[in-house]
Amino acid sequence: MSQPHTLPETLPPALSQESLKPVPPPSDTQKEHVAQPTPLEQLEGQEAQQEQLEGQQEAQLEQLEGQQEAQLEQLEGQQEAQLEQLGVQLEGQQEAQLEGQQEAQLEQLEGQQEAQLEQLGGQQEAQLEQLEGQQEAQLEGHLEGQQEQQEGQQEAQQEAQLGVQSAQPALVPAPGEVQEPQQVQPLKGEVLPPTEQEQQEV
């Protein structure tokens, strides 16, 4: 700083004889000049700050990765537990459904078997009734045929006997003789009724 120009002072006569002492320079009122860092120091400081920031970022990233891994593991555990629970529930539901379906199928099969058995029983009864009717008709027809045949044979035998009797001459007994009744020989397979004499003897 340049010193201000001052006018010379006139000293009193008493002081004029004293030698003038040198006046000290005025004190510097300005602040002391602060030394600024060089560009190299600034770069080094910036690099240190960057390294510090990178270290903080890496630590934060590691912390985040650890948290994410822990969360993922927790989620995986929850999912596995849920899947196991769902699997157990599904197995129970499937078993219940299968049991219900099997029971329904068994009931349906039993109903079908019962219906088939009833149908077969009805068919068998109808067949038996039909056979019985056929047998009865056959027996009746056979018996009627036999009776008609026997009646025809009897009629033929009677007609033959009548023809033989009419062909024989009638014997006239002499006076005083009693004519004995002639016994008619029965034809084969024919039974004649007993005479009055035979009935009395019996």
Q: For 149-184, write each residue's pLDDT tens digit.
A: 899 898 888 888 887 777 665 555 556 665 555 555
Q: Is the Cβ–Cβ distance between 181 and 195 less than 8 Å?
A: yes
pLDDT given at position 144: 87
> In this model, does residue 9 exceed pLDDT 80?
no
Identify the DSSP state of 30. S
pLDDT given at position 123: 93
The mean per-residue pLDDT over the stretch 75-91 comes to: 92
Q: Is the Cβ–Cβ distance between 186 and 192 less than 8 Å?
A: yes
Which residues fall within 8 angstroms of residue 30, CB to CB, at 6 or more apart? 1
Separation of alpha carbons 106 and 103, rounded Å: 5
Separation of alpha carbons 43 and 37, rounded Å: 10
Alpha helices (H) in the chain, listed in sequence order: 13-16, 39-167, 196-201
Global pTM reads 0.30
Confidence of residue 63 (pLDDT cuts 50, 70, 90): very high
- Comparing 4-8, 135-139, 162-166, which segment has the lowest mean pLDDT? 4-8
36 against 42, higher pLDDT: 42
Separation of alpha carbons 81 and 89, rounded Å: 12
> In this model, does residue 29 exceed pLDDT 70?
no
The mean per-residue pLDDT over the stretch 180-193 comes to: 54
- Of all residues in the chain, what percent carry a pLDDT higher than 90? 39
